[in-house]
Amino acid sequence: MSAGYEFVPLPDRVSVRQRPEAVHDRRVEGTLSGTLSLTFATEQLVHVGSGFKALVEGKVVRQGMRVRGRPGVPGSSMKGVLRARYEALTRSCAPSPPRVLDVRSQSRPSIKRARLAQRALNQPAFHAHEGHEDGLCPACALFGRMSRRSRVTLTDFAVEGHDEAFVTAPMPEQFGPNLHHVGPATVQSDPRSGEEGGSREIFEVHDLHGRKFAVGRGPLPERHGVQAVECIRRGASLRGQMRFVNVLPAELGGLLVALGWRPQSALKIGAGKAHGFGRMHLAHIEYRLRGLTDDAARESEEGWRAAFEGWEDRFAEGMQRLVAVHQGDC
């Protein structure tokens, strides 16, 4: 049994600079624009919740998302997964984590809080845009940030074929790593006033393992809750599109890696990713690019991959780790 999540290291530096290709008002020479029609095959049950519940045969069931009346995945969810993976394999920024959180520890049940030491908070990824208001990291340049429009959009993905009915499955309650599990930690004094007065102990995290990705099947607490959820079936086909403008060949090569196409790796999406839900893989791509036929685009795949391999913004260690944790039984 795994911990239910793995980590991809943060880059030692973030590449923030002016990116003239990150525009929409004109065509930029040397870039690519067009559409990829994508077909994903589900390897596990997939539940992307709609936020609604229904009573089915006397049992409360959390409903799944419907796209055009069929089980599906919103484009926003697909884009979120794709961005997270693209961030991990490039020298991109990361949102600053909370400094202090309440935690639960089986080994030290008396300790109720954890904090990040300043060293952990000083990661370059958390401060990449400070003093560089006009600069963009690779992920922000492609997927957007405040006042910057994304050059990549994804449509909703709907189930095709004969798998248009949801199946209902029990899903254990969600969990994530406690703050003192995201990096090496020691026990320190926590001098805060409590009801009984005096000092308490706190976990202090001195470094970070990296970006978290849920995989495998994590441990369950002794008294865990279970909920019934609507799921897309295993072996179903989900079809939608990714559209993009003014994308560099290296960026397109990185997107293909993030999609799990070359090299092949799985994607995890929706709820229950640490409980054996949510894995799927990209089964087919159809290219419709400006000035290129589908056959010509397929012949260009290796060139885009080579451009990404030689790109200064690629984070090789992150790419290797991301692909490794999403191959096999993830």
- pLDDT of 305 higher than 70: yes
Cα–Cα distance for residue pair 281/195, rounded to 1 Å: 52
**What pLDDT is stored for residue 223 in this prediction?**
65
% residues pLDDT > 70 (the chain):
95
Section 156-175 average pLDDT:
87
Q: What pLDDT digit, counting tens, does each position of 197-224 carry? A: 545 899 999 999 999 999 887 777 666 7
Q: What pLDDT digit, counting tens, does each position of 84-141 carry? A: 999 999 999 999 899 999 998 888 888 999 999 999 999 999 999 888 778 999 999 9
Q: How confident is the model at residue 225 (pLDDT cuts 50, 70, 90)?
A: confident
| pTM strictly above 0.75 | yes
Cα–Cα distance for residue pair 201/273, rounded to 1 Å: 32
Average predicted confidence (pLDDT) for the chain: 92
Q: How confident is the model at residue 193 (pLDDT cuts 50, 70, 90)?
A: very low
Per-residue H/E/C for the chain: CCCCEEEECCCCCCCCECCCCCCCCCCCCCCEEEEEEEEEEECCCEECEEEEEEEECCEEEEEECEECCEEEECHHHHHHHHHHHHHHCECCCCCCCCCEEECCCCCCCCCCEEEECHHHHCCHHHCCCCCCCCCECHHHHHHCECCECCCEEECCEEEECCCCCCEEEEEECCCCCCHHHCCCEEEEEECCCCCCCCCEEEEEECCCCCEEEECCECCCCCCCCEEEEEEECCCCEEEEEEEEEEECHHHHHHHHHHCCCCCCCCEECCECCCECCCEEEEEEEEEEECCECHHHHHHHHHHHHHHHHCCCCECHHHHHHHHHHCCCCC
